[in-house]
Amino acid sequence: MKIIKNPLQIQKISMELIRKNKSIGFVPTMGALHSGHVSLIKKSVSQNDITVVSVYVNPIQFGPNEDYKRYPRPVNDDIEICKKNGVDYLFLPSNETLYDKDFSTYVTVDKLSGIMCGVTRPVHFRGVATVVSKLFNMVMPDRAYFGLKDYQQYVIIKRMVKDLNFRTKVIGCPIIREKSGLAMSSRNTYLSPEAKEQAVNIHKILVNAKKSFNSGKNIDAVIKETAKLLSAIENSEIDYIEARDSNTLQPAVKTTKNVVIAAAVKISNIRLIDNILC
Protein backbone atom coordinates (compact mmCIF):
# COMPACT_ATOMS: atom_id res chain seq x y z
CA MET A 1 0.00 0.00 0.00
CA LYS A 2 1.23 3.46 -0.88
CA ILE A 3 0.38 6.55 1.16
CA ILE A 4 -0.20 9.68 -0.92
CA LYS A 5 -0.58 13.15 0.55
CA ASN A 6 -0.40 15.37 -2.52
CA PRO A 7 -3.66 15.88 -4.52
CA LEU A 8 -1.80 16.28 -7.82
CA GLN A 9 0.07 13.04 -7.20
CA ILE A 10 -3.08 10.97 -6.56
CA GLN A 11 -4.63 12.51 -9.67
CA LYS A 12 -1.58 11.61 -11.73
CA ILE A 13 -1.67 8.03 -10.41
CA SER A 14 -5.38 7.75 -11.23
CA MET A 15 -4.88 9.05 -14.77
CA GLU A 16 -2.17 6.45 -15.34
CA LEU A 17 -4.41 3.68 -13.98
CA ILE A 18 -7.22 4.77 -16.30
CA ARG A 19 -4.84 4.71 -19.26
CA LYS A 20 -4.01 1.12 -18.32
CA ASN A 21 -7.74 0.26 -18.22
CA LYS A 22 -7.59 -0.46 -14.49
CA SER A 23 -10.86 -0.01 -12.61
CA ILE A 24 -10.66 2.21 -9.54
CA GLY A 25 -12.80 1.78 -6.42
CA PHE A 26 -12.88 4.59 -3.89
CA VAL A 27 -13.91 4.75 -0.23
CA PRO A 28 -13.93 8.34 1.11
CA THR A 29 -13.80 8.45 4.92
CA MET A 30 -13.10 10.76 7.83
CA GLY A 31 -11.00 8.07 9.47
CA ALA A 32 -11.49 6.41 12.86
CA LEU A 33 -12.12 3.34 10.72
CA HIS A 34 -14.37 0.59 12.06
CA SER A 35 -16.07 -2.54 10.71
CA GLY A 36 -18.52 -0.45 8.71
CA HIS A 37 -15.67 1.16 6.78
CA VAL A 38 -13.97 -2.22 6.39
CA SER A 39 -17.12 -3.60 4.74
CA LEU A 40 -16.92 -0.79 2.16
CA ILE A 41 -13.23 -1.45 1.55
CA LYS A 42 -13.84 -5.17 1.05
CA LYS A 43 -16.62 -4.43 -1.42
CA SER A 44 -14.32 -2.17 -3.39
CA VAL A 45 -11.46 -4.67 -3.38
CA SER A 46 -13.79 -7.38 -4.68
CA GLN A 47 -15.19 -5.23 -7.51
CA ASN A 48 -12.17 -3.25 -8.74
CA ASP A 49 -8.56 -3.65 -9.82
CA ILE A 50 -7.40 -0.85 -7.53
CA THR A 51 -8.86 0.46 -4.27
CA VAL A 52 -8.21 3.97 -2.98
CA VAL A 53 -9.24 5.07 0.52
CA SER A 54 -9.12 8.67 1.68
CA VAL A 55 -8.89 9.68 5.33
CA TYR A 56 -9.67 13.35 5.89
CA VAL A 57 -11.67 15.18 8.55
CA ASN A 58 -13.28 17.84 6.39
CA PRO A 59 -13.61 21.14 8.27
CA ILE A 60 -16.18 22.76 6.00
CA GLN A 61 -18.89 20.19 6.80
CA PHE A 62 -18.85 21.04 10.50
CA GLY A 63 -20.87 23.88 11.99
CA PRO A 64 -19.30 26.34 14.46
CA ASN A 65 -20.51 24.45 17.56
CA GLU A 66 -19.89 20.92 16.28
CA ASP A 67 -17.17 18.40 17.06
CA TYR A 68 -14.53 19.15 14.39
CA LYS A 69 -11.67 19.67 16.85
CA ARG A 70 -12.40 16.60 18.95
CA TYR A 71 -13.37 14.27 16.11
CA PRO A 72 -11.28 11.08 16.57
CA ARG A 73 -8.13 10.92 14.42
CA PRO A 74 -6.33 7.59 15.08
CA VAL A 75 -4.32 7.82 11.84
CA ASN A 76 -1.83 5.05 12.64
CA ASP A 77 -4.67 2.62 13.38
CA ASP A 78 -6.38 3.64 10.14
CA ILE A 79 -3.20 2.95 8.17
CA GLU A 80 -2.93 -0.55 9.62
CA ILE A 81 -6.59 -1.31 8.89
CA CYS A 82 -6.14 -0.23 5.27
CA LYS A 83 -3.00 -2.33 4.89
CA LYS A 84 -4.70 -5.42 6.30
CA ASN A 85 -7.70 -5.12 4.00
CA GLY A 86 -6.06 -4.81 0.61
CA VAL A 87 -6.08 -1.05 0.02
CA ASP A 88 -3.69 -0.04 -2.77
CA TYR A 89 -3.51 3.71 -2.13
CA LEU A 90 -4.31 5.62 1.05
CA PHE A 91 -4.87 9.31 0.36
CA LEU A 92 -4.12 11.54 3.37
CA PRO A 93 -4.58 15.17 2.30
CA SER A 94 -4.34 18.15 4.64
CA ASN A 95 -6.44 21.28 4.94
CA GLU A 96 -3.63 23.23 3.29
CA THR A 97 -3.49 20.96 0.25
CA LEU A 98 -7.26 20.87 -0.27
CA TYR A 99 -8.30 24.42 0.55
CA ASP A 100 -6.41 27.59 -0.39
CA LYS A 101 -6.75 30.51 2.02
CA ASP A 102 -9.02 32.26 -0.48
CA PHE A 103 -11.04 29.13 -1.33
CA SER A 104 -14.49 30.28 -2.45
CA THR A 105 -16.13 27.56 -4.60
CA TYR A 106 -18.77 25.32 -3.06
CA VAL A 107 -21.12 22.62 -4.34
CA THR A 108 -24.70 22.77 -3.11
CA VAL A 109 -27.36 20.19 -3.94
CA ASP A 110 -30.55 22.22 -3.65
CA LYS A 111 -33.72 20.86 -2.03
CA LEU A 112 -32.08 17.68 -0.72
CA SER A 113 -29.61 19.52 1.53
CA GLY A 114 -32.05 21.62 3.54
CA ILE A 115 -34.21 18.80 4.92
CA MET A 116 -33.71 16.16 7.61
CA CYS A 117 -30.14 16.55 8.93
CA GLY A 118 -29.81 19.78 6.95
CA VAL A 119 -32.33 21.60 9.16
CA THR A 120 -30.07 21.61 12.22
CA ARG A 121 -26.80 21.27 10.28
CA PRO A 122 -27.27 23.91 7.56
CA VAL A 123 -23.67 23.92 6.24
CA HIS A 124 -23.11 20.18 6.50
CA PHE A 125 -24.12 18.89 3.08
CA ARG A 126 -22.57 21.82 1.23
CA GLY A 127 -19.30 20.79 2.86
CA VAL A 128 -19.84 17.12 2.06
CA ALA A 129 -20.74 17.74 -1.59
CA THR A 130 -17.80 20.11 -2.05
CA VAL A 131 -15.16 17.79 -0.62
CA VAL A 132 -16.55 14.69 -2.35
CA SER A 133 -16.59 16.51 -5.71
CA LYS A 134 -12.96 17.51 -5.13
CA LEU A 135 -12.02 13.94 -4.21
CA PHE A 136 -13.83 12.54 -7.24
CA ASN A 137 -11.91 14.98 -9.45
CA MET A 138 -8.62 13.77 -7.96
CA VAL A 139 -9.25 10.01 -7.71
CA MET A 140 -11.54 9.70 -10.75
CA PRO A 141 -13.03 6.44 -9.48
CA ASP A 142 -15.21 4.07 -11.46
CA ARG A 143 -17.11 3.22 -8.28
CA ALA A 144 -17.40 4.95 -4.91
CA TYR A 145 -18.77 3.25 -1.80
CA PHE A 146 -20.92 4.88 0.87
CA GLY A 147 -22.57 3.35 3.93
CA LEU A 148 -26.33 3.68 4.07
CA LYS A 149 -26.28 4.80 7.70
CA ASP A 150 -25.77 8.27 6.23
CA TYR A 151 -28.76 7.76 3.95
CA GLN A 152 -29.39 11.41 3.11
CA GLN A 153 -25.72 11.83 2.21
CA TYR A 154 -25.94 8.83 -0.12
CA VAL A 155 -28.93 10.28 -1.99
CA ILE A 156 -27.29 13.72 -2.20
CA ILE A 157 -24.04 12.32 -3.61
CA LYS A 158 -25.97 10.29 -6.20
CA ARG A 159 -27.83 13.42 -7.25
CA MET A 160 -24.58 15.42 -7.46
CA VAL A 161 -22.91 12.74 -9.58
CA LYS A 162 -25.84 12.71 -11.99
CA ASP A 163 -26.16 16.49 -12.20
CA LEU A 164 -22.43 17.16 -12.65
CA ASN A 165 -21.72 14.22 -15.00
CA PHE A 166 -19.10 12.49 -12.90
CA ARG A 167 -17.84 9.20 -14.33
CA THR A 168 -18.35 7.54 -10.95
CA LYS A 169 -21.04 5.03 -9.99
CA VAL A 170 -22.19 5.58 -6.41
CA ILE A 171 -22.79 2.35 -4.52
CA GLY A 172 -24.70 2.28 -1.25
CA CYS A 173 -23.70 -0.48 1.17
CA PRO A 174 -25.71 -1.93 4.08
CA ILE A 175 -25.45 -0.52 7.59
CA ILE A 176 -23.03 -2.50 9.71
CA ARG A 177 -24.18 -2.85 13.30
CA GLU A 178 -22.72 -3.85 16.61
CA LYS A 179 -24.09 -7.06 18.14
CA SER A 180 -26.55 -4.93 20.08
CA GLY A 181 -27.98 -3.48 16.86
CA LEU A 182 -26.41 -0.03 17.31
CA ALA A 183 -25.28 1.33 13.95
CA MET A 184 -21.50 1.55 13.82
CA SER A 185 -20.21 5.12 13.86
CA SER A 186 -16.95 6.84 14.71
CA ARG A 187 -18.98 8.99 17.11
CA ASN A 188 -19.95 5.91 19.16
CA THR A 189 -16.59 6.38 20.90
CA TYR A 190 -18.09 9.46 22.58
CA LEU A 191 -20.75 7.38 24.32
CA SER A 192 -20.38 6.29 27.93
CA PRO A 193 -21.33 2.67 28.63
CA GLU A 194 -24.65 3.90 30.05
CA ALA A 195 -25.36 6.12 27.05
CA LYS A 196 -24.47 3.30 24.67
CA GLU A 197 -26.97 1.07 26.44
CA GLN A 198 -29.66 3.69 25.84
CA ALA A 199 -28.58 4.26 22.22
CA VAL A 200 -29.28 0.62 21.37
CA ASN A 201 -32.98 1.44 21.66
CA ILE A 202 -32.92 3.62 18.53
CA HIS A 203 -32.59 0.63 16.20
CA LYS A 204 -35.08 -1.45 18.18
CA ILE A 205 -37.66 1.34 17.88
CA LEU A 206 -37.04 1.71 14.13
CA VAL A 207 -37.50 -2.04 13.65
CA ASN A 208 -40.81 -1.74 15.48
CA ALA A 209 -41.77 1.19 13.21
CA LYS A 210 -41.06 -0.90 10.11
CA LYS A 211 -43.25 -3.72 11.41
CA SER A 212 -46.09 -1.30 12.09
CA PHE A 213 -45.78 0.32 8.69
CA ASN A 214 -45.57 -2.99 6.82
CA SER A 215 -48.62 -4.27 8.65
CA GLY A 216 -50.64 -1.47 7.07
CA LYS A 217 -50.60 1.17 9.79
CA ASN A 218 -50.90 4.79 8.61
CA ILE A 219 -47.43 6.31 8.13
CA ASP A 220 -48.27 9.46 10.14
CA ALA A 221 -49.44 7.31 13.03
CA VAL A 222 -46.26 5.22 12.81
CA ILE A 223 -44.05 8.32 12.97
CA LYS A 224 -46.05 9.76 15.88
CA GLU A 225 -45.74 6.49 17.81
CA THR A 226 -42.02 6.22 16.98
CA ALA A 227 -41.35 9.77 18.15
CA LYS A 228 -43.05 9.00 21.45
CA LEU A 229 -40.89 5.90 21.96
CA LEU A 230 -37.67 7.71 21.04
CA SER A 231 -38.52 10.53 23.45
CA ALA A 232 -38.91 7.98 26.23
CA ILE A 233 -35.25 6.90 25.93
CA GLU A 234 -33.35 8.18 28.95
CA ASN A 235 -31.34 11.36 28.24
CA SER A 236 -32.61 11.54 24.67
CA GLU A 237 -33.48 14.51 22.48
CA ILE A 238 -35.03 14.01 19.04
CA ASP A 239 -33.57 16.03 16.18
CA TYR A 240 -36.02 14.48 13.73
CA ILE A 241 -37.91 11.30 12.92
CA GLU A 242 -39.33 11.23 9.40
CA ALA A 243 -40.64 8.90 6.71
CA ARG A 244 -39.33 9.72 3.23
CA ASP A 245 -39.35 8.28 -0.27
CA SER A 246 -36.08 6.32 -0.31
CA ASN A 247 -35.24 7.44 -3.87
CA THR A 248 -36.17 11.13 -3.80
CA LEU A 249 -36.34 11.96 -0.07
CA GLN A 250 -39.74 13.53 -0.65
CA PRO A 251 -42.09 13.11 2.34
CA ALA A 252 -43.66 9.65 2.28
CA VAL A 253 -47.37 9.50 1.57
CA LYS A 254 -49.88 6.68 1.36
CA THR A 255 -48.90 5.85 -2.24
CA THR A 256 -45.11 5.91 -1.68
CA LYS A 257 -43.73 2.52 -2.68
CA ASN A 258 -40.21 2.69 -1.23
CA VAL A 259 -39.97 4.25 2.22
CA VAL A 260 -37.04 5.03 4.49
CA ILE A 261 -37.75 5.88 8.11
CA ALA A 262 -34.84 8.01 9.30
CA ALA A 263 -33.99 9.48 12.67
CA ALA A 264 -31.43 11.70 14.32
CA VAL A 265 -31.41 11.47 18.09
CA LYS A 266 -29.09 12.91 20.72
CA ILE A 267 -28.25 10.52 23.53
CA SER A 268 -26.54 12.35 26.39
CA ASN A 269 -25.93 15.15 23.86
CA ILE A 270 -24.20 12.84 21.35
CA ARG A 271 -25.98 13.05 17.99
CA LEU A 272 -26.63 9.66 16.39
CA ILE A 273 -28.36 8.88 13.10
CA ASP A 274 -30.00 5.68 11.94
CA ASN A 275 -32.61 4.55 9.44
CA ILE A 276 -34.54 1.55 8.21
CA LEU A 277 -35.86 0.74 4.75
CA CYS A 278 -39.47 -0.43 4.58
Verify that 145 and 226 share a domain, yes or no.
no
Verify that 147 and 9 share a domain, yes or no.
yes
| CATH code (residue 232) | 3.30.1300.10
Catalytic residue among 34, 37, 124, 203: 37
The candidate with the shortest Cα–Cα distance to 223, out of 198, 259, 255, 258, is 259
- 47 falls within a domain: yes
**Taking residues 226-236, what's their average pLDDT?**
96
State the Cα angle at 9 between 8 and 13, rounded to 5°.
120
**Taking residues 249-269, what's their average pLDDT?**
95
Where among 173, 201, 234 does a domain terminate?
Answer: 173
- Helix axes 193-214 and 219-231, enclosed angle (nearest 10): 160
Verify that 168 and 203 share a domain, yes or no.
no
Verify that 146 and 32 share a domain, yes or no.
yes
Is residue 203 annotated as a catalytic residue, yes or no?
no
Cα–Cα dist 181/203, whole Å = 6
**Taking residues 2-7, what's their average pLDDT?**
98
- pLDDT at residue number 65: 86
This model's pTM is above 0.75: yes
For residue 212, what are the domain limits? 186-277
- 179 falls within a domain: no
- The total number of structural domains in the chain stands at 2
Verify that 109 and 40 share a domain, yes or no.
yes
Verify that 86 and 110 share a domain, yes or no.
yes
**Taking residues 141-170, what's their average pLDDT?**
98
- pLDDT at residue number 29: 98
pLDDT above 90 as % of the chain: 98
**Taking residues 29-55, what's their average pLDDT?**
97
CB 61 within 8 A of CB 123: yes
**Average per-residue pLDDT in the chain?**
96
- pLDDT at residue number 32: 95
pLDDT tops 90 at residue 243: yes
pLDDT tops 90 at residue 216: no
- 180 falls within a domain: no
